[in-house]
């Protein structure tokens, strides 16, 4: 019986958490979910992201919720995972008098810091694309045999940090934590000395926090109160059922006597 009561309490708590998260997420643009572990252990995962936009980007805000220990339980550890994303396009035209190789490098410096200016992550995602072209074909159009236009090139890198002990205090509360994302483009086109080229670099990010915690166990008085309420509800329903059955029996008896 106690197991059923505990499940009922957990269900109500989970529903409350989902409703609260939904209200916050509208303003701060993050989503949260909870994964059950062994015993009373669980992990609450919240994530947010910034869609790629043209670099350079300076101190763009990202928000994640703190861990509400009064509702959820005891926080044991925190994992913060930051992924830097690069997208881009490039074009080049070789004006060399001979065939050559051209390298397009998509790269950038992507950083994340807190509001105090403390650096949390510095990522350098990079990807190289190599192309062979002929001598100049006489037309500057970023196409033909001596040029090329490239779209949809991508690169990404992920970093992770684990927080424990006294470091957890920053993550505990009922507010949102603000992080600042910046991106500096490092993309380039290299090869022969006679190149006309351009590069567009867009940067975005994904940020995820995982709260590993031990669930808050309901007080015995709460469980007893819920149990008493359930038992009372059952007794009331039984009384109603018996009253209905008694009324039906009386009607039948009256019917027989009248006949």
pLDDT at position 27 is 47
Q: Counting Cβ atoms within 10 Å, is residue 193 exposed (0-12), middle (13-18) or buried (19+)?
A: exposed
Measured in residues, the chain has a length of: 259
More confident of the two residues 189 and 242: 189
Q: Which of these ranges, 23-27, 36-40, 42-46, 102-106, has the smallest mean pLDDT?
A: 23-27
Q: Which distant-in-sequence residues (6+ apart) come within 8 Å of 27 by Cβ?
A: none
Are 110 and 104 in contact, with CB atoms under 8 Å apart?
A: no
Give the Cβ contact number of residue 218 at 10 Å. Answer: 18
Cα–Cα–Cα angle for 201, 206, 210, nearest 5°? Answer: 160
How far is it, in rounded angstroms, from Cα 195 to Cα 34? 53
Kindly report, residue by residue over 146-166, the tens digit of the pLDDT: 999 999 999 999 999 999 999
Write the burial class of residue 210 (CB in 10 Å: 0-12 exposed, 13-18 middle, 19+ buried): middle
User: Does residue 125 contact residue 107 with C-beta atoms inside 8 Å?
Assistant: yes
CB 57 within 8 A of CB 205: no
Q: Position of tokens 């790629």? A: 52
Work out the average pLDDT over 226-254.
60
């Amino acid at each position: 019986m106690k197991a059923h009561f505990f499940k009922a309490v957990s269900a109500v708590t989970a529903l409350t958490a989902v409703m609260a998260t939904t209200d916050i997420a509208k303003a701060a643009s993050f989503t949260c979910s909870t994964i059950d572990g062994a015993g009373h252990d669980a992990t609450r995962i919240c994530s947010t992201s910034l869609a790629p936009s043209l670099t350079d980007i300076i101190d763009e805000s990202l928000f994640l919720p703190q861990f509400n220990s009064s509702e959820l339980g005891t926080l044991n550890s925190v994992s913060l995972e930051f992924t830097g994303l690069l997208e881009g396009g490039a074009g080049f035209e070789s004006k060399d008098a001979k065939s050559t190789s051209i390298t397009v490098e998509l790269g950038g410096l992507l950083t994340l810091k807190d509001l105090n200016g403390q650096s949390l992550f510095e990522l350098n995602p990079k990807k190289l694309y190599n192309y062979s072209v002929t001598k100049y074909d006489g037309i500057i159009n970023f196409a033909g045999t001596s040029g090329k236009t490239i779209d949809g090139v991508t690169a990404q890198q992920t970093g992770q940090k684990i927080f424990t002990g006294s470091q957890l205090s920053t993550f505990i509360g009922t507010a949102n934590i603000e992080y600042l994302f910046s991106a500096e483009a490092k993309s380039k086109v290299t090869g022969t000395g006679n190149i006309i080229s351009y590069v567009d670099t867009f940067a975005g990010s994904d940020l995820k926090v995982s709260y590993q915690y031990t669930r808050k166990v309901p007080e015995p008085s709460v469980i007893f109160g819920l149990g008493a309420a359930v038992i009372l509800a059952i007794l009331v329903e039984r009384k109603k059922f018996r009253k209905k059955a008694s009324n039906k029996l009386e009607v039948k008896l009256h019917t027989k006597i009248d006949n």
